[in-house]
Structure 1
Amino acid sequence: MDLETNKDKSPVEQKMGTKSEPSSSSGSGSSSESSYSSSSDSSLLSWTEWFCDLDDHEWFCIINEDYLMDNFNFYGLQKYIKNYSYTIDLIRDLDNEQFEFLTEEEKQKLEKEAFVLYGLMHARYIITYSGMRDMRKKIKNQSFGRCQRYLCRQTALIPIGLSDKPNKSKVKVFCPNCQKIYHPPKCFEWIDGAFFGTSFPHFLLSCYPQLRPKKKKTKTLIPKIFGFQIHTSVPQYYTGEKKKKIENKRIIIKGPKKNNFYNQIEIEVEKEKEKEKEKEETKVIQNQKEIEIEKVSKEDGQIQDSDEDNQQIKEETNVN
């Protein structure tokens, strides 16, 4: 069995075709059959190799067997797959007797579920050291394309997903120079964004800073008419970051707008804070006054007591 003919078949069909049948012949016939079965088994592709060799699957990496055999790496993916045990056996190239009894429709459904499970595993694998190493080679070869923006100077793109859950959005490509996301070529638009994840580009650039474009002043188009630059007071000619800077400058100069609802709320909150401060100050002043009054009243009482004592002493002396 040749690789080319075997490549067109799915792994389920391969496993169904590799089951050896008992033969009644002996001698040279049995030896030829055993040699044929060994050659066919050696020529069989693994499920991961078959999957990555398909057309328009060039973006995927071959996951290591050790990573696939670790059940911990599949944690939390059961909720996305119906026939979870069968799909794992298929991806891991484990023999399952029930594969022989599957119909064509069941085989197609099983393969679709295996595609989804492998894609979700792929998003986890490319964050590992070996996965980032494989993806780094693809990025250096510009397998994911180049940024079509003229000022980015053909920066290599990185695949990214807008959601980590399947069937939410398709894969996109991220440019590390202009920090923008673009649509991929049409042949790769079928890929789910969850097969690459939302954090892969940023995690890759943090681990491999040499992949980041060199720090250069990003040039922007300056609108001119007959060689004269248009004034910044005409914002319709400026877009993007420069327009935001101009608007921010105007807000700083003019201050808060009267009709702005949020600015009015902030002003009211500040007024309430000032009123509370005034109330606290008045309370403190009142407390101080009360303390002073108490002190004065105590002193007056002591003076009255001393006067009464003096009068009694005088009366006693007069009597004597």
Structure 2
Amino acid sequence: MDDFNSETDSDYTSYWRDWFISSRGNEYFCEIDEEYLTDRFNLTGLNTEVQYYQYALDLVTDVFDLDCDDEMREQIEKSARHLYGLVHARYIVTTRGLAKMLEKYKKGDFGKCPRVMCEQNALLPMGLSDNAGVKAVKLYCSKCEDLYNPKSSRHASIDGAYFGTSFHNILFQVYPAMIPQKSQRRYEPRVYGFKVHAAAALQRWQDNKKDEMKERLKRMKVDTGFEDDDEDGEREDDDIDVEEDGAAMN
């Protein structure tokens, strides 16, 4: 907002949406059409969620003309950003909004997947809750179908409700051609170039889990039902001796 401090109020308000979209940290947002913002049906229920709702709406729609002090202006500005975010979540699931977000997705404006096997597949912003103030925005990879935190602290502080929980799924339903082929590649552990034997690794894991369970049952003073290895060895030796004695008698 420092760039606008020297401008008049009319200049300040006429550039509000342009300033918001171009500000650092707001790269995830697309510009909402003025026709959508001025349609009261699209704003149903938001007046109860945003403080100074009417003033904030006037600021976002470039008709703000209230003469107020700096503190009041700051509060209205904060409400305007919150209002824009809530409307943004509704706008990006419309035909026009999906098209705008698709272009940003194609350009990689939301970042690339950090997973090596995904080969820098583009990410999409999404929320874990549709209610504001619950969870910050996350980034969804359509290739590995996992979620990641934004790298930038500016992006990590954005409310996930400004994108909603359904946007990324709706986008791929409308544009199914954009769904990437799922990655079948997995990291394979190796020792000196040779693959680690999967059966051996599984056996070690099973033995460890068995030992953990036996220790847990012993602490609870519950009969494990397992026989110790030493006892198994002694029993096998006894069986061998009996078989040898029987053969000698015959």
Q: TM-score, normalised by structure 2?
A: 0.74
Aligned counterpart in structure 2 of residue 211 of structure 1, from 160, 178, 182: 178
Contact 2:55 2:64 in 1 (8 A): no
2:204 and 2:7 mapped to 1: Cα distance?
Answer: 64
Asked if residue 191 in structure 1 is aligned to residue 158 in structure 2, the reply is yes
Distance 2:92 2:204 in 1: 43
> Does the CA contact (< 8 Å) of 1:223 and 1:229 recur in 2?
no
Taking the aligned partners of 1:197 and 1:71, their CA distance within structure 2 comes to 20
- 1:176–1:85 Cα change, 3 Å: same
Quote the Cα distance in structure 2 between the aligned partners of 1:46 and 1:59. Answer: 19
Query: Root-mean-square deviation (CA), in Å?
Result: 2.5
**Contact 1:59 / 1:144 at 8 angstroms: preserved in 2?**
yes
Q: Does 1:109 find its partner at 2:75? A: yes
Size of the aligned set, in residue pairs, is: 203
Query: Which residue is 1:48 aligned to?
Result: 17
1:8 is matched with which residue?
3
Alpha-carbon distance between aligned partners in 2 of 1:234 and 1:221, rounded to the nearest angstrom: 20
Could you say which residue in structure 1 is the equivalent of 2:216?
Answer: none
Q: Of the two, which has the highest radius of gyration? A: 1
Quote the sequence identity (%). Answer: 36
Contact 2:16 2:60 in 1 (8 A): yes
* Alpha-carbon separation, structure 2, partners of 1:7 and 1:209: 43
Q: Distance in 2 between matches of 1:235 and 1:213?
A: 36
Match of 1:79 in 2: 48
Q: Does 1:68 align with 2:37?
A: yes
Partner of 1:230: 198
Structure-1 separation of matches of 2:13 and 2:77? 17
Cα shift at 1:44 = 7.3
Question: In 2, distance between residues paired with 1:235 and 1:53?
Answer: 55
Residues in 1 aligned to 2:145 and 2:132: alpha-carbon distance in whole angstroms: 24
- Bigger relative contact order, structure 1 or 2, given CA contacts below 8 A and separation 6+? 2
**Compared CA separation, residues 173 and 230, structure 1 to 2 (3 A):** same
Structure 2 CA distance for partners of 1:236 and 1:92, relative to 1, 3 Å: farther
